[in-house]
Amino acid sequence: MDVRLYTIPGSHPGVAAQAMLAHKGIPFKRTDLFPVISKGVVRALGFPGKTVPAIKIDGDKVQGSRPIARELDRVQPEPALFPADPKRRTAVEEAERFGDEELQHPIRQIVWWAFKQNKAPLRSFSEGARLGIPIGIALRTAGPIVALSARFNEASDENVRTDLAKLGEMLQRVDDLIAAGTLDGEQLNAADFQIAPSLRLAMTFQDLRPLIDARPAGKLARRVVPNFAGDFPPVLPPAWLEPLRGVPAPQAS
Ligand SMILES: N[C@@H](CCC(=O)N[C@@H](CS)C(=O)NCC(=O)O)C(=O)O
């Protein structure tokens, strides 16, 4: 099988695709792209959409972490990413949908908002990346890419404050899915691979790491993705973290 994965360093769905390929033991080559520029590149490569992860398997093009999970099960059924039992499959698919549609984007917004405040941690996120130019040059020219990515992803103060206010609820949902046996079972499934990289990306923030590490969700994240490049020193305003720490929001007077 000839497999090439197109991704962006630090992309959580990109890490999901890599982890699923590794889980199945499918050898693959990886092309790392710059954010923003990636959109034109994947279109030029003939993919229908603009996002990564995108994958070519023996010439066939599949884009998006969820379609990729299904395609990997089709080309190599074992170990299966979806349970055979229909009821369990429905539960895994719903958890996977939650991971993709509800959890993934708020984390992306937090990341781009944070890079707008401080670009220095970009170096740690680029560890192991092969961008085709020296990393120092890439980092020195990152300003416009960060600004555009923050804009495209609507990483505004207001949205990121809301994202953080909702994060506690989402972590609870992951803990509940683990308790129900949908996630973190003996055999990892597509929902584990969808959700864990988002948690792992959130855990690159020193502000968030201890809060997630203390929960079953944190244990799952480290099990599925033992290493995730990136370390963000404190950047999130303490008042925005209060809902996550269980501090009640101040009453309006
Ligand atoms: N939900 C999609 C989202 C893919 C997505 O938005 N990927 C981001 C990277 S995490 C992307 O390609 N962004 C384009 C850019 O940053 O320019 C999936 O899981 O595949």
- Residue-level pLDDT, tens digit, the chain, 253 residues: 999 999 999 999 999 999 999 999 999 999 999 999 999 999 999 999 999 999 999 999 999 999 999 999 999 999 999 999 999 999 999 999 999 999 999 999 999 999 999 999 999 999 989 888 888 888 888 999 999 999 999 999 999 999 999 999 999 999 999 999 999 999 999 999 999 999 999 999 999 999 999 999 999 999 999 999 999 999 999 999 999 987 555 555 5
- Please give the DSSP secondary-structure letter assigned to residue 232: B
CB atoms within 10 A of CB 10: 24
Nearest-angstrom CA–CA distance, 86 and 92: 10
Pocket residues for ligand 1 (CB within 6 Å)? 8, 11-13, 35-36, 38-39, 51-53, 64-65, 100, 104, 108, 149
Model pTM score: 0.95
User: Exposed, middle or buried, 147 (CB in 10 Å: 0-12/13-18/19+)?
Assistant: middle
How far is ligand 1, taken at its centre, from the CA of residue 252, in Å? 37
Which phi-psi region, left, alpha or beta, contains residue 56 (left: φ > 0; alpha: ψ -120 to 50)?
beta
Collapsed DSSP state (helix, strand, coil) of residue 98: helix
7, 34, 36, 52, best to mutate for ligand 1 pocket (most atoms within 8 Å of CB) = 52
Q: For position 131, what pLDDT does the model report?
A: 85
Q: For position 252, what pLDDT does the model report?
A: 54
How far is ligand 1, taken at its centre, from the CA of residue 114, in Å? 17
